[in-house]
């Protein structure tokens, strides 16, 4: 198990270096920002673009921050999840607070996805050819994103709500001491509600996000790479993240004390043909769906399905796999605790546990 674990980490390292080395390998640029934050969203198959109305809206649809409602003050959210059976760690911390009045809100989100303790074997051999395991050191390959959000409730007809929002984001990616990059981008979002119907749209990287990479291999490390048949990546390169559009529709209704919130989403990517349910060039479409059932605003059960992909059987026939998910949530006064379990949907049984917390700090009432 330890050998396979190390191989996965080393493979991840060189996959990242290949991305750095050329502009043609950028179909999945900044893909860590497509994983999703919040156990509620994960439990619903990430189908929350239309209904999200909490601190995680800064990630899913910044317009949703303005729909938190009156009486909501500072809201803090945090999440931890582990991917690929614990190899990758994904963490999120967010906050939102009203700005000036209840119709406008500010938000801040910090995201990290990293694989730690990757063995660096470039110095494994001494000059005389002997192996020295003491020369092995570990490093991390980590991606960071900081999102600053603004959202506002717009004027709308009676019985309707209209919200607009946007993000300015900074992306930092680091592969040990070998390479690093800075990136900048802009997201825009909107939500529109008519009674029980909710619609949402998010445009990610609408201006195209640029990551400027700098490779910093030492001369000795370059010699080892060349001696082992590897190509040296460019010292400086530019990684481009093309726009994505997320569309969502939801319907919320109650039967006595039981609430129902089904939602369907559609992600349209523009970076070329992907293995999705509807695959095209340059636009591919990836649908998802989820359902939340709540009891008395206290207990919530969730289920979802997403990431439909086409696979080929041994006999050459095609079949479709997907990523199922389930979740549960508890609202305890001003604290909400959420949990989600999701399987990547492949034959290797790789799963993830997601836990998130959300805390409301209401403003003091004026005497």
Q: What is the arithmetic mean of pLDDT over 98-121? A: 86
Rg (C-alpha) for the chain, rounded Å, is 22
- 164 pLDDT more than 90: yes
pLDDT at 244 over 80: yes
We report the CATH number of the domain holding residue 55 as 2.40.160.40
Tell me if 160 is assigned to some domain.
yes
Share of the chain above pLDDT 70, in %: 80
Tell me the pLDDT tens digit for each residue of 345-366: 455 556 788 999 999 987 666 5
- Whole-number pLDDT of residue 367: 52
Could you give the CA distance from residue 323 to residue 148 in angstroms, rounded to a whole number? Answer: 30
Percent of the chain with pLDDT over 90: 50
pLDDT band at 144 (very low <50, low <70, confident <90, very high): very high
CB-based contacts of 366: which residues, under 8 Å, 6+ apart? none
Q: Domain total for the chain?
A: 1
pLDDT at 38: 94
The whole-number pLDDT of residue 279 equals 86
Among candidates 330, 29, 50, 355, which has minimal Cα distance to 194? 50
- More confident: 276 or 330: 330
Q: What is the pLDDT of residues 256-306, one digit of tens each?
A: 999 999 999 999 999 888 888 888 888 999 999 999 999 999 999 999 999
For position 275, what pLDDT does the model report?
A: 83
Q: Is 118 among the domain residues?
A: yes
> Does residue 281 fall inside a structural domain?
yes
pLDDT at 15: 40
**Residue 120, domain member (yes or no):** yes
| DSSP-assigned letters across all residues of 205-273 | TTT-EEEEEEE---HHHHHHHHHTTPPPPPSEEEEEE--EEEEEEEE-EEETTEEEEEEEEEEEE-SS-
Mean pLDDT of the chain: 83
Cβ atoms 34, 204 nearer than 8 A: no
334: Cβ contacts below 8 Å, ≥ 6 apart: 359, 360, 361, 362
Specify if 366 maps to a domain: no
Range with top average pLDDT, 140-144, 148-152, 270-274, 278-282: 148-152
pLDDT of residue 235: 63
Under DSSP, is residue 62 helix (H, G, I), strand (E, B) or coil? Answer: helix
Instruction: Give the residue, 150 or 175, on which the prediction is more confident.
Output: 150
CA distance 120 to 269: 35
- pLDDT, residue 365, reads 63
Residue 367 counted as domain residue: no
Range of the domain at 113: 2-361
In a domain, 150, yes or no: yes
DSSP string across 260-308: EEEEEEEEEE-SS--SSSB--SS-EEEEEEEEEEEETTTEEEEEEEEEE
Model confidence band, residue 16 (pLDDT cutoffs 50, 70, 90): very low
Let me know if residue 310 belongs to a domain: yes
């Amino acid at each position: 198990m330890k050998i396979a674990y190390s191989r996965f980490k080393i493979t991840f390292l060189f996959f990242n270096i290949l991305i750095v080395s050329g502009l043609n390998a950028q179909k999945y640029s900044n893909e860590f920002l497509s994983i999703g934050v919040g156990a509620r969203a994960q439990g619903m198959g990430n189908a929350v673009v239309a209904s999200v109305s909490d601190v995680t809206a800064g990630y899913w649809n910044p317009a949703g921050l303005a729909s938190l409602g009156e009486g909501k003050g500072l809201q803090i959210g945090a999440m931890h999840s582990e991917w690929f059976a614990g190899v990758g760690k994904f963490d999120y911390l967010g906050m939102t607070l009203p700005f000036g009045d209840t119709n406008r809100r500010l938000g801040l989100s910090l995201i990290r996805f990293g694989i730690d303790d990757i063995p660096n074997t470039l110095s494994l051999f001494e000059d005389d050819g002997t192996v020295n395991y003491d020369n092995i050191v570990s490093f991390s390959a980590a991606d960071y994103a900081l999102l600053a959000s603004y959202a506002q409730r717009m004027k709308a007809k009676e019985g309707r709500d209209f919200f607009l929002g946007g993000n300015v984001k900074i992306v930092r990616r680091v592969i040990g001491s070998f390479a690093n990059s800075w990136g900048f981008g802009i997201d825009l979002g909107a939500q529109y509600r008519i009674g029980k119907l909710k619609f949402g749209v998010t445009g990610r990287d609408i201006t195209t996000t640029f990551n400027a990479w700098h490779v910093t291999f030492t001369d000795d490390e370059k010699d080892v790479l060349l001696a082992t048949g590897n190509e040296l990546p460019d010292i400086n390169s530019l990684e481009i993240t093309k726009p994505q559009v997320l569309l969502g529709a939801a319907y919320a209704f109650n039967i006595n004390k039981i609430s129902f919130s089904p939602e369907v989403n559609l992600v349209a990517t523009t970076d070329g043909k992907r293995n999705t349910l509807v695959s095209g060039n340059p636009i591919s479409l990836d649908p998802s769906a989820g359902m939340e059932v709540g009891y008395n605003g206290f207990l919530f059960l969730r289920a979802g399905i997403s990431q439909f992909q086409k696979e080929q059987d041994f006999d050459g026939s095609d079949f479709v796999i997907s990523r199922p998910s389930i979740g549960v949530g508890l609202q305890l006064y001003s604290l909400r605790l959420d949990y989600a379990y999701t399987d990547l949907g492949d034959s290797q049984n790789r799963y993830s546990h997601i836990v998130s917390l959300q805390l409301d700090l209401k403003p003091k009432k004026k005497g």
